[in-house]
Structure 1
Amino acid sequence: MNIRLIVKNLGYVLIIEAASMLPSLFVSLLNRQDDFSSFLITILLLLVLGTAASRINVGYENLYTRDAFALVALSWLLMSAFGALPFFLSGAIPRFIDAFFECVSGFTTTGSTILNDIENLPKGLLFWRSFTHWIGGMGVLVLTLAVMPSTKAGSLHIMQAESPGPLPGKLVPKIGQTAKILYAIYLAMTLVLLLLLHIAGLPIYDAFIHAFGTAGTGGFSNMNESVGAYHNLAVEIIITVFMLMFGVNLSLYYQAIKGNPKAFLHNEEFLFYMGTVVISTVLIMCNTVGTVYQNFGEALRHASFQVSSIITTTGYATADFNLWPTFSKVILIILMFVGACAGSTGGAMKCIRILLLFRIAKREVVKIIHPRSIYSVKIGGKVVDEETQIGVLTYFFFYLVAIACSTLVVTLEGKDLVTSVTAVISAIGNVGPGLGLVGPMGNFSSFSLLSKIVLSLDMIVGRLEILPVLLIFSPSSWRRANI
């Protein structure tokens, strides 16, 4: 493993994180609150360590796949650890593990929190808390590639390790240029969302907070009751639409800009995603009208928002779905598994994998009925190779194993099964709220330090899709590569 090159690139990541804290430092200075010094100390520490690491002499600049995977996993761990310092140093979150949990939840766009009174936090910290969503939505290393691509060889491996979903590809020949295009689309959509939220009645600060949370599909709010605190139908509609938009593969927007808007209609994953949203919304609406809500309009309003929030793994709430009928809650749990599209800012399994699992299962049934038949698994009219199919099945297996092992640890606390299981599913799927004590009106503060560490790792494992994190714990990965 090329350790020197990994450390050098980690230095660039720390410099990027220092720069990312500057807007929060400015917000803190503007509001003259106590968190200013904590941001200043953290920024200086990041710059000193980042500059020192980035100046390391590297013998050769080949970044192998395992190097890229290790770089991505270590970057997320370091970003989260240093990102937690402003919360810890300011005293807003007295225990470092709690601050680490909050920051991991931010960068991984999970949106789970240990805070009981969000509205009393200094505005600079709340801004940083939500801005981590925006950074993490597209990826820490993708941002680094867009701003200062430092490795000629291995950039694609970095995107493969960090991009959510299978088969990430280049939009243009140069991977650095691809990163710039993706971030340009991401930024443009965020700015449009920000403007619309402000026009709809949100103060500019609140609009920034919720634009970051929606774009990154993270779900952190500066209000204790999340989006529901505003009681603003226009804001809810705007966030619902944009949550769904950010749950779509960003490359489809690039194709539309280049003159191919029909790409959406020809993309099977997009059609599966939208079909799942429509069906789930209708089912929940029918199940809650007359029992939870008095009319179809009110049921549609809350059902559409929560379905969009859960399938995109954003986690915003306008209603306490803990109070919904069991049928509706089961649908939400299923959506926690499904997730958004590959190449989006959403989490969980991804629609493309679910679609592939259905196609693989169908093939196996056909082979039983017609043993001599030749049946190929296809997506979008193209045959999916066996290696990709095995990769999807392997990921599905690891995903379930991670949920099972984490649940065993979390249940040691003695909390009810619904709370324990949905907390783990929510963490690995980067969803945010679960059910029971971790529902939309609850939080994760009552969990022990051990459970918070496990859930923090689950969030990183889920965001990086397991393999990069497993790799850094494998001794064979750290052996020196043959040059």
Structure 2
Amino acid sequence: MNRHLVQSMLARILLGAGAVLLLPLFLSLYYEGPVLSFFLPALFSLMLFLLLRKKEISPNASLTPREGTAITALSWLSVSLLYAVPYILSGTLSPLDGLVESISGLTGTGATVINDLTVLPPSLLFFRAMTHWLGGLGIIVIFVALFPQAGRGSTKMVNAESTGPTSSKPLPRIRETALALFTVYVCFTAAAATAYMLWGMGFLEAVDHAFSTIATGGFSTRNESIAYYHSLSLELIVIFFMVISSANFGIYVDAWKRGFHVIRQDTEFRVYLLMVAGAALLITLSLVLQARMPFAESLREALFQSASLSSTTGFVSADFDQWPSFAKFILLLLIIAGGCGGSTAGGLKVIRLILLFKCFSALLKLHMHPRAVFHMTVGRERFSRNTVLQVLAFFFIYMALSALWAAGMMLDGIAFMDALGLAFSTMSNAGPAFGQFGATCTYAALPDFSKIIVCLSMLFGRLESITLLAIFIPSFWKKSGW
């Protein structure tokens, strides 16, 4: 492993992360907010850059898979620590709570430990939402898109950060792909912010919610989340942007080149839409028949929460913790499933669920036809046996880690169902759980040990486990390693 190259790339990413802090810094100056809370970590990132950056990256330097994994994992850990500092220096949160809020923002989980958002200055609210936006598409993807000298082999970093199995790229060069994805991301964010302003939100509030929506994060400027506004029209706007952000962003780039039919023909997105519609219908029936709610109100709340939790955004329009058990079970399944691969959503990803179902179907057929040979295809996309094995391994790791996190929290005194909900919600980066940490609650009441667990769970969930698990293998760091 070329440690100098890893160190130099990490230095550049930290410098970029520090430069971003200038935006909330200017807002603090304008609104007379906590200036030092943003200035000091920005200055610290500059000092780290000067300390770590020993030499320029050679134009011919190329990253190996190990180096790409190391840079990605260390970048997420370092930026998470850096972005905890503004919460701590402003006096808003303790160091541990600041870390929870930072990781929750960057991973797009949207769970908060702040009980009252109304006391926060506009600059800090903007910073919270901005962390969603940076982590939603990906710190590495944005870095590769904006910095042409990211070095050869940047694909290794992007792959270590990307979500869901895909067998193709919309553009041949990784920087062109990253720049195209970033352009789509910016356009969606601008469209969402414009729609919110046209609806009636102020500029900053609209931008904050646009960041949270397109990044499928869920931080709001209101304690009650979207329920604060009591508006069907706003909920429909939010649903639209949450759903399109749950699709593979690559298909939007492909659609720009080849036409809208690419989106219409995408099997994974079609299955996702059917999943949301089916869940909304089942929850509506449960609310009408079991909770005796009016049909129109049931459909409205069911559709919003199905879109919110399947996209793992975590916006709340109603206290779903008071719903019947069947409705909450459907919501839990949506949290686990998540959105599409290559989107900003978390969860297992719909493409993996499709492949798991096809594996199950193939096993049944092999039982009857032992010598048959099956090819794993989804739409026009063919997946190799290696990809299918990775999907099976990921499903096992996801379930195993969720069980481990739940066990750790139960050991810390959290009730069984609450711990289970927290484990799945944080591994899927969804945010709201059930019970004591449900729709209208925060994570502030978690014991310290459980807060450490949810930090790990959110990071493992966002980086899909393998990237972080790899750096804990001792041979990973040896010169004669993998």
TM-score by length of 1: 0.96
Residue 82 of structure 1 is matched in structure 2 by 82
> In 2 relative to 1, CA 148–381 (structure 1 residues): closer, same or farther, beyond 3 Å?
closer
Shift of 1:297: 1.7
Partners of 2:205 and 2:221 within 8 A in 1: yes
Q: Does 1:274 align with 2:300?
A: no
Q: Work out the CA distance in 2 between the residues paired with 1:222 and 1:207.
A: 10
Residue 195 of structure 1 aligns with an amino acid whose one-letter code is T
Bigger mean CA deviation after superposition, 54-63 or 192-201: 54-63
> In 2 relative to 1, CA 404–203 (structure 1 residues): closer, same or farther, beyond 3 Å?
same
Residue 192 of structure 2 is matched in structure 1 by 193
Shift of 1:293: 6.3
Residue 3 of structure 1 is matched in structure 2 by 3
Q: Work out the CA distance in 2 between the residues paired with 1:263 and 1:118.
A: 41
Partners of 2:422 and 2:437 within 8 A in 1: yes
Write out per-residue CA displacement over residues 319-376 of structure 1, whole angstroms, 9 at most, x where no aligned residue: 0000011111000000111100011100010000000000001000111122233333
Q: Work out the CA distance in 1 between the residues paired with 2:50 and 2:475.
A: 29
Q: Work out the CA distance in 1 between the residues paired with 2:64 and 2:158.
A: 13
Residue 476 of structure 1 is matched in structure 2 by 475
Shift of 1:390: 0.5
Bigger mean CA deviation after superposition, 232-241 or 289-298: 289-298
Residue 141 of structure 1 aligns with an amino acid whose one-letter code is I
Q: Any stretches of 5+ residues in structure 1 without a counterpart?
A: none
Bigger mean CA deviation after superposition, 378-387 or 222-231: 378-387
Write the mapping of 1:37-436 to structure 2, written as runs, cut at 5 A. Answer: 37-56=36-55, 61-93=61-93, 95-167=94-166, 169-289=168-288, 291-292=290-291, 294-436=293-435
Q: Work out the CA distance in 2 between the residues paired with 1:481 and 1:221.
A: 48
Partners of 2:167 and 2:381 within 8 A in 1: no
> In 2 relative to 1, CA 382–83 (structure 1 residues): closer, same or farther, beyond 3 Å?
closer
> In 2 relative to 1, CA 324–215 (structure 1 residues): closer, same or farther, beyond 3 Å?
same
Bigger mean CA deviation after superposition, 359-368 or 374-383: 374-383
Shift of 1:135: 0.5
Bigger mean CA deviation after superposition, 253-262 or 463-472: 253-262
Residue 463 of structure 2 is matched in structure 1 by 464
Give the secondary structure class of the aligned counterpart of 1:258. helix
Q: Work out the CA distance in 2 between the residues paired with 1:385 and 1:301.
A: 41
Q: Work out the CA distance in 1 between the residues paired with 2:57 and 2:304.
A: 50
Shift of 1:136: 0.4
Give the secondary structure class of the aligned counterpart of 1:378. strand
Shift of 1:230: 1.1
Residue 150 of structure 1 aligns with an amino acid whose one-letter code is Q
Shift of 1:481: 5.7
Q: Work out the CA distance in 1 between the residues paired with 2:323 and 2:393.
A: 34
Q: Work out the CA distance in 1 between the residues paired with 2:53 and 2:425.
A: 36
Write out per-residue CA displacement over residues 152-177 of structure 1, whole angstroms, 9 at most, x where no aligned residue: 32211111111111126432222112
Give the secondary structure class of the aligned counterpart of 1:304. helix
Shift of 1:58: 5.8
Write out per-residue CA displacement over residues 408-441 of structure 1, whole angstroms, 9 at most, x where no aligned residue: 1111122221111111111110000011111110
> In 2 relative to 1, CA 331–176 (structure 1 residues): closer, same or farther, beyond 3 Å?
same
Partners of 2:192 and 2:210 within 8 A in 1: yes
| Aligned-pair Cα RMSD in Å | 1.7
Shift of 1:70: 1.2
Give the secondary structure class of the aligned counterpart of 2:299. helix
Q: Work out the CA distance in 2 between the residues paired with 1:371 and 1:168.
A: 28
Residue 3 of structure 1 aligns with an amino acid whose one-letter code is R
Shift of 1:382: 4.2
Residue 30 of structure 2 is matched in structure 1 by 30
Partners of 1:248 and 1:344 within 8 A in 2: yes
Write out per-residue CA displacement over residues 237-274 of structure 1, whole angstroms, 9 at most, x where no aligned residue: 10111000000111111122123211123221111111
Q: Any stretches of 5+ residues in structure 2 without a counterpart?
A: none
Give the secondary structure class of the aligned counterpart of 1:144. helix
Q: Does 1:452 align with 2:461?
A: no
Shift of 1:398: 0.8
Taking only the aligned residue pairs, the percentage that are identical comes to 35
Q: Work out the CA distance in 2 between the residues paired with 1:419 and 1:294.
A: 26
Q: Work out the CA distance in 2 between the residues paired with 1:318 and 1:186.
A: 25
Q: Work out the CA distance in 2 between the residues paired with 1:355 and 1:482.
A: 35
Shift of 1:198: 0.7
Shift of 1:55: 4.1
Q: Work out the CA distance in 2 between the residues paired with 1:264 and 1:108.
A: 26
Give the secondary structure class of the aligned counterpart of 1:456. helix
Shift of 1:180: 0.9
